[in-house]
Every structure is written in C-alpha cells, then in structure tokens.
C-alpha cells in the first residue's frame, strides 16, 4: 500500500485579509485512510476545497496518479476521480433521494428521464452500502444522520479514487459510525484513498493509517497513526500542551430556582412525557441520553419551537406561556440549536448581520438603523469569543464550522439571557475552541447565568455539568450530581426504557 495516489505541493491560498493556506503539502497513499487534523481555521477544509475545485490555489501543484492537474471546478474533480462529502449538507429537500444522488447524470430513455432505471440503480447502490432508505422518499423527510449516509452513498456512486470526508460522523449515532467504518474498509480494499477530517480523536486513532496535522494555515507534519496518542495530536494541533481538558470551576451555583418544568408533555404523542426539572441560578445542567431520548425536542419546546400539550413552565416563580421563540426571547431564554447550518446561520448574510439579527431593534433609532452601533456590538461580541474572521462583512458561510458556532453564541449573548440553552455546543469544534467555549460557559455561570447543555460526548457531559438530567424515550430517568456520576451510571439511566441489546462502537477494536 505504498503507491502514491495524491500529492499536493506547497499549496498557497489567500482571501482578502487572511492567508488561509501558506505552503501546505499533503501526500496520500492508495487504499489508505489519511486523517487531516487541526483546529478550526487551520485550513483543512480550504485545502480540500482546492483539491475538489471549489477554490483554485494561488500557487502550488496538485499531482494525481503521477500527473499534474489544474482542477478548475468540481465537475472536473469528479471526472478525475475525486469526490467530497461536505461537513454541511445541502440536499434538495423537496426532491426524492434518488434525484439528489444522480443529479446531473440521470439515466435517460431517449429524451426522457428513466425513473424506473434510476430506482434500480439507487436500490443497487444502497444495497452495496447496506442502507435501508426508500429511493423515492423526499430528502427533507430524512434525519440528518440518514442524509449523511445518503451523501456517503452518493460519493461511492462516482467510483472515485479519492473520497474526501469532512466531519462525516458529526450527525451519526454510534451504530451508524460503525456502519461508516465498515464502508470505509470496503473502499480501502478496492484501493480507494480516504481523506478523513474529524475532531474526534478516538475515531482518528481507530480508522486512520496516516495523520497530517495543520496549524494556522501551515503544514505541521505527517505521522503514522500507530505512532500517535490523543495527547500528542492535541499538542501538535495547538502548538502547546493541553494539561487539562476542562477549565477549573470558578463558580458555585445558587440554590435559587430560575427555571422549572412541571409535568411537561409534548403535543406530539411520540415525544417527551411528564418531564419535571429544575434549573438553578448560576448552574450548568447537563442533559444526557441516547438517540431518541427527546432531549432536543424538550429544549425546543422550552424555546417555543414545539408544542406543549400539558404542564407548566415557571421562571423565577412566575408561570410562562411560550408559544413562539419571541416569547422565550422576551423572557430572556436563548437557544443555540443543534444543526447550525439548517437552523442557526443565515448563510447569505454577513457575520455582522448574523450576530445582531435577534436584537436588531436595539440599534434602531427613529426607524433608522445605526450601523456604527451594530458593528461595534458585533465586533466586541466576536472578539470576546475569539472568532477568526478577516472582517464583519464576510459571509458567515465562508467561516469554518467552529467559527460559525462562535458567531451564533455571540448572537445570543448579545440578548443578555438569564437562561442559555446549548444543544451540542461543541459539535464539530476542535479541542482548542472547545476549551474556549467551556471557559465562556464557566464565566457566564459565574455571572449568575443559568445554562442547559445537551451533549452526546460523555466526558463533556460529566466534565462541564453541575448536575445531570438523564432522559430515555421521552422521560426523565434520573438526576445526578456530576461529581458523583460516571459513564456506566449515565448509560444505565439512559437505557432504562431502551433496548439494552443495541450494538455500539467498541473503541477497543483492533485497528
């Protein structure tokens, strides 16, 4: 497996105000899984977009199968055998899954699209990757995790020599991740090279053959995965030792109850039922559970995005009526949603507009927006979160996922909430940026803000919470002191109503 499939030599790419890539090189072997790692803003996605033809490098060389190539667009990249699964998915939601897969290359019968043949080809593809999805189902009806697997199947359909996977497991369950790894092994057996971008250290050490690390748009080095440890990867990513994963706690929660849910039952009969909880002033309440626990549905109901059939929400002892997000915002409740691309950012707007959009009226005087005040507020909020951006007029969609998340957090902090709900706040964010988010959360708690945090990462859930509320199948199964909790205890409560025979990824499996 020594044959070189790809060489990227001294790649340079500049944008106004920022040098995204500064002489970066990458060598990928045939049939290998090559991990590409670095903090948000390190240039990983930019490098891959140069390879896939979304960007064109300012200087440097791309050599595929020993031949120098000028890749000017994604169509050309696909023709050369390079496909890419993007971190943020953009399906045509109101068209069938099969049309999303074969778009631009529909099977034809004369001048008419051959739908019967398209169904056959899609079923054959799904059988190959062991995916049970109706080819004629609307893409918008599928869950984010299923859409991710469909996108992986689409990449396989191109019979590519190189497949770029940018955070492919960010929306996947443990079983789905195991399924993906099975697909990757199958592709390797055919000689396909996988370039794998992920912030999940356990995944990298489990699935990769080689690891290239980038920092601040520059190449740090490439190592065999078997020579690396999590601590070593982190040190090389951030340029320093990370002696602790979570900041020291500098606050003590009050006993004062800020938010209380009493017998909350969703309008949807398949969702949460009879949920009771208390959130204290200056506390981080972590909500844990497996897929289907209805954690997101609960917090979205608290924010007015979902209906509540019965029960009571109280804030500072007063009953609230929340039927719409504006009701929650008026009561100083904020929600950072799980899917930033689908329900968070406005991709066609600037960082400035995305930051101030919720409290736009604060900068309006006599019906006229004060642009100076808007800019000053946006710059201050993003500076505090260390958002990496050349200027506030940059479109938010051009930022890395982690920096988009920081802009969204800045947006909600400008509303000065009493209660901040964070749904998977560090998903797709590197270890350095995670620590920054954790530090901000501690600072807010010390200021008396109350935080509800949903997390599927067990260490984060335990390390950042003061108390833990565990849910299973829409019900609260336990409330634990985080200092006394461990992963075994949490999983016990998380499976109280679930099928305990479900298969999970065993990180101890041999590479």
Over the chain (511 residues), the average pLDDT of each successive run of 10 is 85 82 94 88 88 93 93 92 80 87 89 91 88 89 81 87 86 79 90 90 89 91 91 78 76 95 93 95 93 89 94 95 93 87 77 87 83 86 80 83 83 91 83 82 94 89 94 92 88 70 34 35
**Distance between CA atoms of 21 and 115, rounded to whole angstroms?**
44
Give the DSSP H or E segment for 484: none
What does the pLDDT read at residue 511? 35
**Residue 178 is encoded by which pair of tokens?**
């195991």
The pLDDT assigned to 507 comes to 31
CA dist list (Å): 389 to 19, 166, 379, 403, 422: 11, 21, 10, 8, 23
Query: For residue 35, which of 228, 177, 174, 182 has the smallest C-alpha distance?
Result: 228
DSSP code of residue 496: S
Cα separation, 396 vs 78, whole angstroms: 27
Number of C-beta neighbours around residue 175 at 10 A: 14
Domains recognised in the chain with CATH numbers: 4-238 (3.40.50.300), 250-332+417-498 (3.40.50.300), 348-414 (no CATH)
* The pLDDT value given to residue 32: 95
What is the pLDDT at residue 212? 95
pLDDT, position 139:
87
Phi, psi of 185 (to 5 degrees): -60, -40
Place of tokens 């001048």: 111
Is the whole model's pTM more than 0.75, yes or no?
A: no
């Amino acid at each position: 497996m020594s044959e070189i499939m790809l060489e990227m030599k001294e790649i340079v790419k500049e944008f106004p105000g920022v040098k995204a890539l500064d002489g970066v090189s990458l060598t990928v072997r045939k049939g290998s899984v090559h991990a590409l790692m670095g903090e948000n803003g390190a240039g990983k996605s930019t490098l891959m977009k140069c390879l896939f033809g979304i960007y064109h490098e300012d200087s440097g060389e791309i050599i595929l199968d020993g031949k120098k190539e000028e890749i000017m667009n994604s169509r050309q990249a696909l023709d050369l055998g390079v496909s890419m699964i993007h971190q943020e998915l953009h399906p045509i939601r109101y068209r069938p899954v099969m049309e999303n897969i074969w778009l631009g290359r529909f099977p034809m019968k004369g001048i008419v699209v051959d739908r019967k043949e398209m169904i056959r080809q899609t079923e054959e593809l799904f059988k190959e990757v062991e995916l049970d999805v109706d080819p004629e189902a609307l893409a918008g009806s599928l869950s984010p995790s299923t859409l991710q697997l469909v996108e992986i199947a689409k990449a396989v359909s191109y019979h590519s020599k190189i497949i770029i996977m940018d955070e492919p497991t960010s929306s996947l369950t443990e079983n789905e991740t195991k399924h993906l790894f099975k697909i990757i092994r199958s592709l390797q057996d055919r000689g396909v090279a996988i370039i794998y971008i992920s912030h999940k250290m356990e995944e990298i050490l489990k699935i990769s053959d080689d690891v290239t690390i980038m920092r601040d748009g520059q190449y740090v080095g490439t190592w065999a995965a078997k020579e690396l440890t999590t601590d070593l990867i982190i040190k090389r990513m951030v340029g320093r030792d990370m002696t602790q994963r979570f900041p020291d706690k500098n606050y003590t929660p009050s006993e004062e109850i800020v938010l209380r849910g009493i017998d909350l039952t969703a309008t949807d009969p398949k969702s949460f039922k009879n949920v009771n909880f208390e959130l204290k002033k200056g506390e981080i309440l972590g909500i844990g559970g497996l897929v289907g626990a209805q954690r997101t549905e609960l917090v979205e109901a608290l924010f007015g995005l979902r209906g509540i059939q019965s029960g009571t929400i109280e804030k500072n002892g007063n009953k609230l009526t929340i039927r719409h997000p504006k009701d929650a915002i008026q009561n100083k409740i904020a929600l950072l949603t799980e899917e930033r691309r689908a329900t968070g950012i406005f991709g066609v707007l600037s960082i400035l507009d995305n930051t101030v959009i919720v409290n736009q009226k604060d900068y309006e005087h006599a019906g006229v927006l004060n642009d100076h005040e808007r800019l000053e507020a946006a710059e201050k909020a993003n500076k505090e979160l260390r958002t990496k951006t050349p200027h506030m007029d940059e479109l938010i969609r051009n930022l890395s996922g982690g920096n988009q998340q920081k802009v969204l957090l800045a947006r909600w902090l400008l509303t000065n909430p009493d209660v901040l709900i964070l749904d998977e706040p560090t998903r797709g964010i590197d270890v350095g940026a995670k620590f920054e988010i954790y530090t901000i959360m501690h600072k807010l708690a010390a200021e008396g803000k109350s935080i509800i945090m949903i997390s599927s990462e067990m260490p984060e859930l335990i390390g950042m919470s003061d108390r833990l509320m565990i849910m299973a199948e829409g019900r609260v199964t336990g409330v634990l002191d985080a200092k006394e909790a461990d992963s075994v205890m949490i999983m016990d409560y998380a499976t109280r109503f679930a099928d305990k025979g479900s298969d999970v990824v065993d990180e101890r499996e041999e590479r």
